[in-house]
Chain A
Amino acid sequence: MRRLFNILKHNRKSKIPETMDLAISTDLDNNIKFLKKQFENSSDVVFRQITTAKNKAYIIFVDGLIDSARIELHAIQQLLEQTPADALDTTYIEEQIISVNSVTEENKFKKLLKQILDGNTILLVDKFDKALVLGAKGGSSRSISEPDTESVIRGPREGFTESLRVNTSLVRRKIHSNHLKVVSRTVGTETQTSLAILYLENLAPPQLVEEVLARIDRIKIDGILESGYIEELIEDDTWSPFPQIQNTERPDTVAANLLEGRVSIIVDGTPFVLILPTSFWQFIQASEDYYQRFHISVFLRLLRVTLLFLALLMPALYVAIASFHQEMIPTTLLLSIAASREAIPFPVFIEALIMELSFEALREAGIRLPKVIGQAVSILGALVIGTAAVEAGIVSAPMVIIVSLTGIASFTIPRFNLAISIRLLRFPMMILAGIFGLFGVVLGSIVLLTHLCKLRSFGVPYFSPLSPLKWSDLKDVFIRVPWWDMDRRPKQFVKEDPVREGSNLKASPNQKES
């Protein structure tokens, strides 16, 4: 039984390669027949027959993936205009006729099929067992535009697109160095998605690159449609609520991280590029922090850290204080809270839960709906929850303030995937606060802190450089020192070549003389 199963499995697996490994024959009709069979019921695959003076030839491509203008101009027209005496051979065609810049030869059907599906054009000529692959990829793809998710006031306005090559070129344009390596991999048995793994050879630790490649090679999956697939397949601890791999749409962010010795993975078909290894603090840093003057960056980072805590803990703290530790609130404030709660039927905990859930619902509705209706929903929600509920005495005004402050605080986290985890973790915290008050919040936080200290992203402690403490790396965590003082790369990643810039770069008038 088992053997039978194995045979079946084996058969199913080997069925395609058997035919695919066939070489192209000299008989054009046979070849075309075979290819047509492979692309049966594929209306977008075009077989264009061309008859020159002596030969028959076929041009095969997937409509929409090629640059048809170029093929028309540089291949079809050129071929039709030829009137040579004897039959053409492929070398002659390649060298004398076709004026497309990249032409290669293939002689196996398997590779041929892949070339067609990748968006190349195939030229098959009668009596020759070779096919010409004309590299004229085209078709429509999104142009480079400013990323919506990470917009900046000052900084480059370009963002990654869905096309892998465009994306790698965007990074290349930032880093003109032969140290920048672009290793490519193909993942996905059906989708055959291309991946590019980018790193700077002289900075990224070799064992990190090896580990990344090993983890990618381990992936066996039918399809990769977004970099999120890769993220979940290669991250260290998937049970952790915290993201361990950063994603970005900005080439400058990728370049900056490559320069700190990290590795990035570009996945074809998505503008979101992965960066790893990551530390927790990277998620509260925006790329603009490095472009604006450092004073405001320091202020904003400290603000973000504070707001991060608020986003996580504020509802929990309110529940804990209002229903366990009333002595913590100043008397006058307490009395006004008591006054506003006088007619509220729910306990604070339930009230908080209702409000937080409806806030989340409102937010989700706003994102999923078409943009025009989305605005209407948010206005409606603000009216209903903000005003009507308070006036009707169902929800107290302080609670509305707390929930909206929490919402605002969570919007200030620059990276959306950390904001999501904070949003989720708010609820367990609220439950703990509802049962044990502040004590519960403290225990919850310490468990969270332990988890963060335990977590690693590709071997790098997630909470570093705060824990384990690296004083010199703290210059770019809660604060950002001016660029002339950022003379070393983070110690956690770069061991070999830590010096980033010349010493004594601080400009001052006296330096001219010396």
Chain B
Amino acid sequence: MKQFISPFQLAILVANFIFAAALITLPQILTQISIQNTWIVPFLVYPIVVVLLLIGFGRGNILQSSFLTNHRSSLHHLFYITIGLFLVIVYIRDLRAFIDFTSRALLPTTPIEVIAILVSVVLLYISSTGIEVVTRITVIQFIMLSATILSLPFMLLNEIELSHIMPILGTDTVENLSKSSFELLPWMGESLIFFFLLGNVAAKKGVKRAIIIGVSIGFFLLFLLIITSIAVLGENIVSKSIYPNFIMIQQINITDFLDRLDLIIVILWMPVLLSKLALTLYCIHRAFFNPNGGTTSNLLMTPLSLLLAVLAIILFENNTVHLEFTFLTWTIIGIVMEFLLLILVLILRFRAKATSLR
């Protein structure tokens, strides 16, 4: 049975996909590069991502149906393999980031292997339920998290210092801004994987709009987090702490009794990242073993998730290696693979158009 999602759900999925993982450590490196001006960066990257998506889309409908065709060429296989590899890297990166955060903020002495296995088992359960259920839980959790994030500036009203976010026009500002835009681009470009899920969207209309809305929501929330952290903490502290947003929510102080809300917000965020990971795992499984989405066999899901968990642990010797990968290596890999994906999508689209004309 083929599972379907609505355009609204698609929008939330996209927003969640680009937002959930980017908020962990990304603001730190961005702030390190472009100091107080960092909150401008999302505005610079947003048009680029939207244009890339629009290029990939073209008219939309042809693309949507071209992935539904059972006719497979070697190009399709190439597309699926590329997207699978891309997602594997994303999955490993995010899983490790999640595990590291958990072991730092919540369970400092628990071995990360144990956390990894536990998380993998849970992810396995979620992703084996299929895309419909993954989407449903994402929607519930994402709405709760977004509401919290939207209320953050109000909760932190006393702590915000506007002079912290005043843009500075220095000699190297433009250079720094473009550097951090380059850093941000591959993270936001992850939204490209939704070309892969188009076949699951029930409605034929409004898909393009849904994806653009989703990207906008994701960007807006990320922007809100970056600007709030810098306004509250100052660029100095943001660029020094690994988890700036975590430190930022620690500053919430609504009367003396309610000044320890940080873990509560973390609790709201963790399911959101878990559902992103679950979606990634689902897509990896589908890209490698079941590209049509036809069968519902989850036989290979278990070994896949455990293998990826093991990889997430052994590939990175420690926290620092992972951060280096996230900030340096991933940027290059991400951009290269995303452009490759985009090109493949374009070729597939034109070929589909050609065949449909003939």
Question: Is A443 a contact partner of B8 (Cβ separation < 8 A)?
Answer: no
Contact A436 B136 (CB under 8 A): no
B118 & A450 in contact (Cβ 8 Å cutoff): no
Query: Are the C-beta atoms of A469 and B8 separated by less than 8 Å?
Result: yes
Most buried by A among B8, B122, B259, B264: B122
Structural contact, A450 and B140, CB atoms closer than 8 A = no
Which residues of chain B have C-beta atoms less than 8 A from A330's C-beta?
256-257, 259-260
A446 touches which one: B9, B106, B126, B257 (CB < 8 A)? B126
Binds B, one of A11-19, A285-293, A460-468: A460-468
Bound-complex Cα distance A442 to B98 (A)? 13
| Nearest-Cβ distance from residue A445 to partner chain B, whole angstroms | 7
B260 and A329 form a contact (CB under 8 A)? yes
Q: Does B296 contact A (CB under 8 A)?
A: no
Question: Smallest Cβ distance from A293 to chain B, in angstroms?
Answer: 28
Of all chain A residues, the one with the shortest Cβ separation from B130 is A454
Q: Are B122 and A328 in contact (CB under 8 A)?
A: no
Return 27 A-B CB contacts under 8 Å, by A number. A324-B107, A328-B263, A438-B106, A438-B267, A439-B102, A439-B107, A439-B115, A443-B119, A443-B274, A445-B271, A446-B141, A446-B271, A446-B275, A447-B122, A449-B137, A449-B140, A450-B126, A450-B133, A454-B133, A463-B136, A466-B140, A467-B136, A467-B139, A467-B140, A468-B9, A469-B8, A469-B139
Chain A, residues 430-473, CB within 8 Å of chain B (1/0): the string is 00000011110111011101100110000001010011110000
Contact A446 B260 (CB under 8 A): no
Kindly report which residue of chain B lies nearest to residue A469, judged by CB atoms.
B139
Chain B residues with Cβ below 8 Å from A441 are 267
Contact of B154 with A by CB under 8 A? no
**Pairs A-B, 7 closest by C-beta atoms:** A467-B136, A453-B136, A446-B271, A453-B133, A454-B133, A454-B129, A439-B106
On whether the beta carbons of B107 and A447 are closer than 8 Å, the reply is no
Contact B126 A436 (CB under 8 A): no
Contact with A along B137-156 (1 / 0, CB 8 A): 10111000000000000000
- Chain A: interface secondary structure? helix
Interface hits, B61-86 → A, CB 8 Å: none
Q: Could you say which of B122, B133, B270, B274 has the most chain A C-beta atoms within 10 Å of its C-beta?
A: B133
Task: Give A449 to B110 CA distance when docked, in angstroms.
Answer: 25
Nearest B residue to A333 via CB reads B257
Tell me whether B106 and A453 are in contact (CB under 8 A).
Answer: no
**Nearest A residue (CB) for B264:** A328
| Interface residues in A327-352 (C-beta closer than 8 Å to B) | 327-330, 333
CA distance A209 to B260 in the complex (A): 52
Residue of B nearest to A468 (CB): B136
**Given the complex of chains A and B, what is the CA–CA distance between A180 and B20 in angstroms?**
50
Which residues of B are in contact with A by a Cβ distance under 8 Å?
6, 8-9, 102, 106-107, 110, 115, 118-119, 122, 125-126, 129, 132-133, 136-137, 139-141, 256-257, 259-260, 263-264, 267, 270-271, 274-275
Are A436 and B110 also in contact (CB < 8 A) when A443-B118, A443-B122, A450-B126 are?
yes
The interface residues of chain A lying within 8 Å CB-to-CB of B275 are: 446
| A328 surroundings in chain B (CB, below 8 A) | 260, 263-264
Known A-B contacts A328-B260, A447-B125; A437 and B107 likewise in contact (beta carbons under 8 Å): yes
Q: How far is the CA of A443 from the CA of B275 in the complex (A)?
A: 11
The CA of A327 and the CA of B249, in the complex, are separated in Å by 14
Instruction: Knowing that A441-B267, A446-B126 touch, tell me 14 more A-B residue pairs with CB under 8 angstroms.
Output: A324-B106, A324-B107, A328-B263, A436-B118, A437-B107, A438-B263, A439-B102, A447-B125, A449-B137, A449-B141, A453-B136, A467-B136, A467-B139, A467-B140
Return chain A residues, CB-CB under 8 Å to B267. 438, 441-442
B102 partner residues in chain A, CB cutoff 8 A: 439
Is A218 an interface position by the 8 A CB rule? no
Query: From residue A51, how far is it (CB to closest CB) to chain B in Å?
Result: 71
A325 within 8 A of B: yes
Chain B residues with CB under 8 A of A325: 106, 263
Instruction: Collect the chain A residues with CB atoms within 8 Å of residue B107's CB.
Output: 324, 436-437, 439
- A436 cross-chain contacts in B, Cβ below 8 A: 107, 110, 118
A467 and B137 within 8 A (CB): yes
Residue of A436, A446, A449 most packed against chain B (CB within 10 A): A446
* Chain B residues with CB under 8 A of A446: 122, 126, 137, 141, 270-271, 274-275
Bound CA span A172–B126, Å: 45
How far does the alpha carbon of A330 sit from the alpha carbon of B259 in the complex, in Å? Answer: 8
List B contacts of A466 (CB < 8 A). 140
Contacts of B271 in A (CB 8 A): 442, 445-446, 449
Please give, as numbers and ranges, the residues of chain B lying within 8 Å of A468 by CB-CB distance. 6, 9, 132, 136, 139
Q: How far is the CB of A308 from chain B (nearest CB, A)?
A: 15
Measured in the bound complex, the distance between the Cα atoms of B137 and A416 in whole Å is: 26
Q: What residues on A are CB-neighbors of B137 within 8 Å? A: 446, 449-450, 453, 467
B257: which A residues are within 8 A, CB to CB? Answer: 330, 333
**A333-B260 Cα distance, complex, nearest whole Å:** 12
CA–CA, A469 and B107, complex, Å: 34
Chain A contacts for B118, CB-based, 8 A:
436, 443
Looking at the assembled complex, report how far the CB atom of B320 sits from the nearest CB atom of chain A, in whole angstroms: 23
The interface centre, meaning the residue of B259, B264, B270, B275 with most chain A CB atoms within 10 A of its CB, is B270
Per-residue CB contact flags for chain A residues 497-513 toward chain B (1 = under 8 Å, else 0) read 00000000000000000
